Chain A
Amino acid sequence: MEDLLFIGKSIPRKDGVEKATGRALYTVDMVLPGMLWGKILRSPYPHARILNIDTSRAEKLHGVKAVITGNETLGIKHGFVETPRYPPDQYPLAMDRVRYIGEEVAAVAAVDEYVAEEALNLIQVDYEELPAVFDAEEAMKPGAPEIHPSHPKVKEHYKNIGGKTESGWGNVERGFADSYLIREDRFEGQLRTHCYMEPQATLASFDFSGKLNVWTSSQGPFIKRAKLAATLGLPQSNVRVLKAYVGGAYGGKIDLFAHEFCASLLSIKTQKPVKIVCSRDEVFESARHGQPILVELKTGVKKNGTLLAQQVKVINNSGGYRGSGVVVIFLCWGFVMLCYRIPNLKYDGYSVYTNNPVRAPQRGHGAPNLRFAVESQMDMIAEELGIDPVEIRLKNARQPGDILPNEDSVRNCGLIECIERAAETTQFKEKYGRKESSKEHRFRRGIGMGVSSYFSGSLIYPNASAALVKLNDDGTVSLLTGALDIGQGAETILSQIVAEELGVSMDDIRVVAADTETTPIDIGVWISGGAYVTGNAVKLAASDARRQLFEAAAQELEASPEELIAKNREIFVKDSPGRSISFTQAVTASIAKRRGNPIIGQGHFRTMKDVPAHPSLATTKGRWSDNYAFDAQVAEVEVDMETGQVKLLKATTAHDCGFPINPLIVEGQIDGQVSMAQGHALWEEVLMEKGKTISTSFLDYKIPCAKDMVESHYIDVITEKYEKDIPYRTKEVGEGYVSGMVAAIANAVYDATGVRVKTLPIHPEKILMGLKEKKHRGK
C-alpha cells in the first residue's frame, strides 16, 4: 500500500485538540436556557407488584415542575431485540410490577438536582412484595417464582426462559464415540461492568414546533431515535438525536434507557429542557452491566488433538428483562464455531430471567467468557495428550476459504499466521511448561495463549451506512456521516478515507456527524462495523465526489476524466504532471460549469447486500457476517506463590485485522482491550446479594489503574488491502481482543502454578486454594 498517503498512517485523532483543551462538550456538560434537572425514583424491591403511587406531596414541593409515573406513559414496551419470537418486554417506566432493585418507577423534573432529589423522597409507592429468584439455574427450576407471567414463553417447562438458541451439525454422539479423549468442564464468567467514565446522561428539549431534541451519551443516534419515537408515540421525524462527545461506552450505551425516556417525557410535559445525569452509584446499582455466562463444555478429540465433537451449553442470567440476553446466547454459538474446525457440534444457549438488573453487551458480548472456557479446556486437553498448546491450536484452526455452517466464509482468515507469529515472537515453546524447574521460587512465571475471532458488522437495525461528501467553494470538504465517535476514532479514520480519495489534507475536512436530522443513516458504533461498513460508505461517497470533480476538471485540463489524479490538493494529468490545477480551482470551476449545482458525493454500504435480514436467533440459520477478524494472544504472568497475586507482565496480540487504517488508533484499541481483559481475568466483579448490588463504587470494583499498566506488543497480520475504486475489507479491531487475552491469562496462571481456575475472576484465594488442594493430593 506504498502509494497511499493517509490509509495505513498513524495520524493523530481529529478531535485531539478539543479534547486536550477541555473544550469538547459531552452530554454532562450541555446546558440550555431554562433547563430543569430530572431525577429517577427506583424500586427498592427485587420483585413486587405496584399497588399505588402517590405523587401529590412531591408535586407540591416548591421548585418541582413535573412528576411522571408509568400512568403518564403510553405503556408501550421496548426491547433490545424486537421480533415476533422475542417481543418487547420492558416498559420505559414500570407499570404494574417491578422486577429488579433499581427499576425505574417515577421521575421528577425540578429547578435543580437538590429539589428533584428531595421530591423523590415525597413520592409514596405501595408495593406488594413477590417471591424473587436471582440465580439463573434456580430460575430454570419448575418451582421458581415466575418473573413474566402472561408472557409468551420460549419453552413451557422452563418458566423463566427469556430466550433459547439451539444449533448444531454432524452427529455429536458419534463424534464422542470416536474420540480418544473426552473432557467435560464447567466454566463460570462473572458479572462485570463497563465503567465508562462519563456516567449515563441525557438532555432532552422539546421545542414549540413539536420536535424533541435529544443529546445523550450513546453509541449511535439512530437506534435511540427509533426507540424514543416508538415509546413516546412520536413520528421518527419529530425526534432529533444530536451528537455530543461520549465519555466511553464499551457496549453499555446502546439500547433505550429509562433516563432517556424520562428526560424526554418530562421535557414534553414541562415544555422545558430537562437533563438527567446518573450518579456513579446509580450506574453501578441499576444501569446495565455485562452478561455473566455459564459454560458447560464437553469436547472429544482424537489422540493427535484433532477436534471431533463439541457439546456446549450456555446459560445467561439476563436479569428482569431480556436486554441483550437473547443476542448473547446466539453470539456464543458463533464464538464457539468461528476459531476451530468442529466436525460435530451441539449447542444450546439459554437466556434466563432473574430478579437482577438488566444486562447489556459489553465489549466482546459473550466472547470473553466463552473463549475463556474453550481456550482453557483446549490447554487441559493438550496437556492430557502431551501436545503443545500451540500445536493443538494450529491443528484445529480455521483456514482460509473455510465455509462456516451458516454458509459464511472466513475468506482469507489469518488465524494460523496469528498463532505462529504470536508463538514465535514470545518464544512461547521455550517458555511454556517451565514451572517445574522453578519449583522453589516464590515468584513464578507462566505463559499462556488464547485465540478468538469476531465479526465485523452484521445485519441489525439500521443494517447499513450512508454518507455524503460535499465539496465547498473554498476547497474544503464536508463529510456528513451518522457515525458517532465514542473515542474509537471514527471521525479520524473516516477523514483519512476522504483525504485519500480526494487528495486533500486532513485539515481540509470538516466532519458533521451523528445527527439524525442532517446526517445519513449509520449502522451504529456497537456492531464492530464502523471501519468496514461506514468506512466503505464514506469511500464510495468520496469517490463519487471525485468522479464529478474530475468531469469538470477534465475540461479545464483538456484531458479525459480517466487520466486525472488527485493528490496533494492538486488535480493533474497522469504522465504529464505539469498539466494541473489546484483542488480549489477545480471546485470553483465545477460550480461555474455545473451552473450552481454543487458537487455532493453519495455513498452507501451494506454488508451481504442481498441477504434480507439477520440470522435466526433461535436456530442460528442464515448469514451472520461477511467479514471476520481473528487473533492469537499471549499472556506472560508472574504469580506470587505465597499470596496468590497475579501480575500480567506482558501481552502480545497477533491479529488479522485485514489492514490497519490507522495503526496508532489500532494500537490504542488493543491496549485498551488488553487492560480490560486484565481486569476481567484478575479483579473485576460486581458483587450482588439477593438482587442488591454490593459493589457501588470504584473502590469496590477494581479496574486497572496506571500502576497496573501492561507492556503491550502488536503483530499486524495483513490479509487485505485498500485500493482505489474497490470496496475494502478491513476487519474489526475494537472488541475481539478482550477474549483471547482473558483466556491467555488463565492459561498462563496455570502454566505458572499448576492451578486451573474455572471461575472468573482469578482472585488470589482461588490460586491459594488450588495450591493447597494440589499439595494435599500430592501427599
Chain B
Amino acid sequence: MKKQLIELRINGELCEVAAESQRTLLEVLREDLGLTGAKEACGTGECGACTVLVDGKPILSCLTLAIEAQGKEITTIEGLSKAGELHPLQKAFIQQGAIQCGYCTSGMILNAKSILDENPKPSREEILKGLEGNLCRCTGYNKILEAVMAASTGKD
C-alpha cells in the first residue's frame, strides 16, 4: 500500500511521518517516532496499555489509525513531565509504590490524568471506575488507587 504523509501534533511538537493509511497510531508512535512509552499488550483494545491522550481524552492507540489523529493534540507519557519536572501523578505513582513491572504504567497514568482533569477531586469509586479499562497484573490496583488519590489531594 502507498505511503502518505501524515502530520501529527505530539506533546506540543509537529511531526511528519510517511506511513500507510492502515497503520495505527500506536505503531506510528512506537515504530516511526521512537515513542515507546505507549505499550501493546493485546492489540485489540482490551487492556489499555496503549492509552494516549487525544485532545485531552484517553484513547486506545492500538484501535486508532494514525491518520485519524491528524489535526489533534496528542499527549504521550513522554510529554507529561515538563522541563525535567515530573507530573504530580508520576511522582505519586513512584512514591506510593503504584509501579511494579511498569508495563501498564504509562497508560494508567495518562488515563488517571484525564480523570483528574475532568474531576480534580474524584471519589475512590470514581477513580476505580475510570481505570477499569487499564489492566494491571502486578499491583492489584491498591497502590494505584492510593497514588491517584494522593495526586488529587496534592500529596506526593
Contacts and interface: CB of A to CB of B under 8 A. Distances in A.
Chain B contact residues, majority secondary structure: loop
B102 A703 contact: no
A197 B140 contact: no
B102 A247 contact: yes
Nearest to B93: A20
Contacts of A15: 102
A15 B137 CA distance: 18
B56 interface: no
B101 A247 contact: yes
A705 interface: yes
B40 to A, nearest CB: 7
Given A17-B94, A706-B131, 6 more contacts: A13-B99, A19-B102, A28-B40, A29-B36, A671-B143, A709-B140
A346 interface: no
A659 to B, nearest CB: 18
A486 interface: yes
Given A23-B37, A28-B39, A712 B134 contact: no
A12 B39 CA distance: 23
B97 A665 contact: yes
A482 interface: no
Interface in A674-703: 674-676, 697-699, 703
A128 B12 CA distance: 59
B116 interface: no
B41 interface: yes
Interface in B125-143: 127-143
A22 B104 CA distance: 10
B103 A26 contact: yes
Contacts of A667: 97, 142-143
A535 interface: no
B99 A248 contact: no
A703 B129 contact: no
A198 B140 contact: no
Contact of B105 (A19, A194, A704): A19
B86 interface: yes
Nearest to B102: A19
| Candidate in B93, B101, B104, B109 with the most chain A CB atoms within 10 angstroms | B101
Given A29-B30, A487-B102, A671-B142, A195 B39 contact: no
A26 B133 CA distance: 22
A198 B39 contact: yes
B140 A21 contact: no
B103 A247 contact: yes
A489 B140 CA distance: 16
Contacts of A405: none
| Candidate in A249, A250, A280 with the most chain B CB atoms within 10 angstroms | A280
Contacts of B90: 17, 20-21
B106 interface: yes
Contacts of B138: 248, 487, 668, 672
Instruction: Give the size range of B's interface with the partner.
Output: 35 or more
Given A12-B95, A667-B97, A709 B145 contact: yes
Interface of A: 10, 12-13, 15-26, 28-29, 194-199, 245-250, 279-280, 486-489, 664-665, 667-668, 671-676, 697-699, 703-710, 712
A231 B62 CA distance: 36
| Candidate in B46, B47, B104, B142 with the most chain A CB atoms within 10 angstroms | B142
B78 interface: yes
Contact of B94 (A16, A245, A249, A676): A16
B122 interface: no
Q: What 10 A-B pairs are tightest by C-beta distance, nearest first?
A: A22-B37, A487-B101, A247-B103, A19-B102, A675-B140, A16-B94, A22-B77, A671-B140, A487-B100, A29-B36
Contacts of A22: 35-38, 76-78, 105-106
A673 B100 CA distance: 13
A20 B46 contact: no
A197 B97 contact: no
12 contacts: A18-B102, A20-B91, A22-B35, A22-B78, A196-B101, A280-B41, A280-B44, A697-B44, A703-B137, A705-B141, A706-B127, A706-B129
Given A195-B137, A247-B101, A709-B128, A21 B93 contact: no
Given A21-B77, A21-B80, A671-B140, A197 B106 contact: no
Given A13-B94, A21-B37, A668 B100 contact: yes
B144 interface: yes
Given A20-B109, A25-B36, A699 B46 contact: yes
A672 B43 contact: no
B139 A668 contact: yes
A113 B140 CA distance: 34
B99 to A, nearest CB: 5
B149 interface: no
Contacts of A17: 86, 90, 94
B49 interface: yes
A20 B105 CA distance: 6
| Candidate in A13, A194, A712 with the most chain B CB atoms within 10 angstroms | A13
Given A12-B94, A710-B140, A21 B100 contact: no
A699 B97 CA distance: 28
B4 interface: no
A290 B50 CA distance: 27
A672 B37 CA distance: 23
Contacts of B42: 280, 697-698
A675 B138 CA distance: 8
B141 A197 contact: no
B123 interface: no
Nearest to A280: B42
Contacts of B30: 29
B132 A664 contact: no
| Candidate in A17, A22, A29, A705 with the most chain B CB atoms within 10 angstroms | A22
A10 B97 contact: yes
Contact of B103 (A198, A704, A710): A198
A63 to B, nearest CB: 14
A6 B66 CA distance: 47
A21 B47 CA distance: 19
Given A28-B39, A280-B43, A672 B99 contact: no
Contact of B97 (A13, A248, A280, A697): A13
Given A20-B99, A22-B77, A245-B102, A668 B143 contact: yes
Contacts of A196: 101, 103, 137
A26 B140 contact: no
Contact of B139 (A194, A671, A697, A708): A671
A410 to B, nearest CB: 28
Given A20-B109, A671-B143, A198 B41 contact: yes
B81 interface: yes
Given A21-B90, A23-B37, A705 B46 contact: no
